[in-house]
Amino acid sequence: MKDFKGKVAVITGGANGIGLAIAKECAKRSIKIVIADIDGSDLKRAEKQLKAEGADVLAVEMDVMKFEDMEMLAKIALEKFHHIDLLFNNAGVVVAGPAWLLSLNDWEWIMKANVWGAIHGEKVFIPIMLKQDTECYIVNTSSVAGLLDLNGMSAYHTSKFATVGLSESTYLDLQCQTDKIKMSVFCPGFIQTDLDNCERHRPKKYANDMSQLYYQSDLYKAEEGQKHKVIKGGIPIDTIGDTIFKAIEEEKFYILTHPELNPLIGLRVKNMFEGGRPSMDVIKGVK
């Protein structure tokens, strides 16, 4: 897709971080914007900011974990703008810790937000795009954590590997049906956003019993500390919108942000061919 003027983009998680950066890039390219987010007050702030930059923007408070909210989002977006041309399934959260120590609430929250959110987006918006029969583009936000593993992030890796699988298989299925809907999967390394403070977006339904042993442990504190450190130590967000749109223009399927990590993705695959085991050495690039 190269001609963006007058197109309409729906962006989940659009009130902050990467979603807001995408929205700002949309504004620069004269794309009409629908930002959707679970955080009503951040959404209002983002809407105000985008309007001040001259954007034609609609803000919809919703929860990607709920299919009926995604349907409501599509209805409101179509009522206002009459067509949808770009979809960014971007909303996401992170929890840190080993698989067996995380609570079921942690697991359900992250899988619902990161994986089911994108499934809901695809299920609602792809039929609309197919019916329109116009040039459309979908970007699912995964992470380099969907291509490489580190310790201490089991639920996040599970959700992001699933998002890569969802994106690759959806791309192939779309190819069998139409040449009008294109897709990418965004797999960034760490970027300075507020993702490390995503606990504030955890619905009560998925609240943890913080008196449980793991949440009182030094390991939990260390994992939480590491989460803040790596995200706040990430690359600045200013170029991210441009990176994503350049990839859309070039129809690059995998959108990566940290070239220094690319050889590690190759090493991981080589390790698989050799029947190796997951290894921190592979990640450190010293195998």
Q: Which residues are catalytic?
A: 156
Pick 90 or 103: Cβ nearer ligand NAD: 90
According to CB under 6 A, which one of 7, 8, 12, 215 is a site residue for ligand NAD? 12
According to CB under 6 A, which one of 23, 136, 195, 244 is a site residue for ligand NAD? 195
Q: What is the footprint of ligand NAD within residues 228-247 (CB under 6 A)?
A: 231, 234
Does position 167 interact with ligand NAD (CB under 6 A)? The reply is no
According to CB under 6 A, which one of 8, 9, 10, 18 is a site residue for ligand NAD? 18
Pick 194 or 224: Cβ nearer ligand NAD: 194
Pick 160 or 287: Cβ nearer ligand NAD: 160
Burial category of 124 from C-beta neighbours within 10 Å (exposed 0-12, middle 13-18, buried 19 and up)? buried
Does position 201 interact with ligand NAD (CB under 6 A)? The reply is yes
Task: Give yes or no for a contact between 190 and 16, defined as CB atoms under 8 angstroms apart.
Answer: no
Output the smallest distance, CB 107 to ligand NAD, in A: 15
Output the smallest distance, CB 141 to ligand NAD, in A: 4
Q: Which stretch binds ligand NAD (CB under 6 A): 57-65, 208-216, 219-227, 244-252?
A: 57-65
Output the smallest distance, CB 213 to ligand NAD, in A: 27
Q: What is the 3-state secondary structure (H, E, C) of the chain?
A: CCCCCCCEEEEECCCCHHHHHHHHHHHHCCCEEEEEECCHHHHHHHHHHHHHCCCCEEEEECCCCCHHHHHHHHHHHHHHHCCCCEEEECCCCCCCECCCCCCHHHHHHHHHHHHHHHHHHHHHHHHHHHHHCCCEEEEEECCHHHCCCCCCEHHHHHHHHHHHHHHHHHHHHHHHHCCCEEEEEEECCCECCCHHHHHHHCCHHHCCCCCCHHHHCHHHHHHHHHHHHHHHCCECCCCHHHHHHHHHHHCCCEEECCHHHHHHHHHHHHHHHCCCCCCHHHHHCCC
How many angstroms separate the CA atoms of 226 and 207, rounded?
Answer: 21
Binding residues with ligand NAD: total (CB under 6 A): 32
Output the smallest distance, CB 105 to ligand NAD, in A: 14
Pick 240 or 267: Cβ nearer ligand NAD: 240
Contact string (CB under 6 A) for ligand NAD, positions 102-141, x = contact: -----------xx--------------------------x
Binding residues for ligand NAD (CB under 6 A): 12-13, 15-19, 37-39, 42, 63-65, 90-93, 113-114, 141, 143, 188, 190-191, 193-195, 198, 201, 231, 234
